Amino acid sequence: MKTSRTPKAVAAAWDIIVKSTRALDDEDRDVPLAQDLFHILGSIKGATLLANKRGLDPEIITVAMILHDVGRIPTGVFPGHDMAGVPPVRGLLKGMGDLLRKRWISSSA
Ligand SMILES: [Fe+2]
């Protein structure tokens, strides 16, 4: 069995994105899916640079950047994407909220 070096919360967040990509074809989206995925990757890069400068936990920052527009992936549109993102983020926090909270507290202490 292969073991992953990706932190659990990052893998779980990315899994939400990957599973959501199957919801729509590009012609049903306001921008191609690839553009949304590039936006996520760019957000991770930029936020990680800032997090490193400020001594913040890069895992938490990465999870936040992966999920910050998660509602756009299954809906394909900007309007309402914030609320569309609530259920998947809530699901992740149910499973990993304690882990992320502890990491956040220990990294910001
Ligand atoms: Fe964004």
> Looking at the domain assignment, is residue 95 inside a domain?
yes
Rg (CA), the chain: 14
> Looking at the domain assignment, is residue 62 inside a domain?
yes
Q: What is the pLDDT of residue 109?
A: 63
Nearest in space to 79 (alpha carbons), one of 30, 36, 37, 38: 30
pLDDT single digits (tens) 20-71: 998 899 999 999 999 999 999 999 999 999 999 999 888 889 999 999 999 9
For ligand 1, the distance from its centroid to the CA atom of residue 4, given in whole angstroms, is 27
Which range of residues forms the domain containing residue 36?
8-13+30-108
Q: Report CA-CA distances (Å) from 5 to 2, 16, 34, 93.
A: 10, 18, 25, 21
Higher pLDDT pick, 3 / 83: 83
For ligand 1, the distance from its centroid to the CA atom of residue 69, given in whole angstroms, is 5
> Looking at the domain assignment, is residue 22 inside a domain?
no
Total domains present in the chain = 1
> Looking at the domain assignment, is residue 51 inside a domain?
yes
Answer whether residue 106 shows pLDDT above 90. Answer: no
For ligand 1, the distance from its centroid to the CA atom of residue 86, given in whole angstroms, is 15
> Looking at the domain assignment, is residue 69 inside a domain?
yes
3-state secondary structure labels for all residues of 16-36: HHHHHCCCCCHHHCCCCHHHH
> Looking at the domain assignment, is residue 21 inside a domain?
no
pLDDT single digits (tens) 60-96: 899 999 999 999 999 999 999 999 999 999 988 888 8
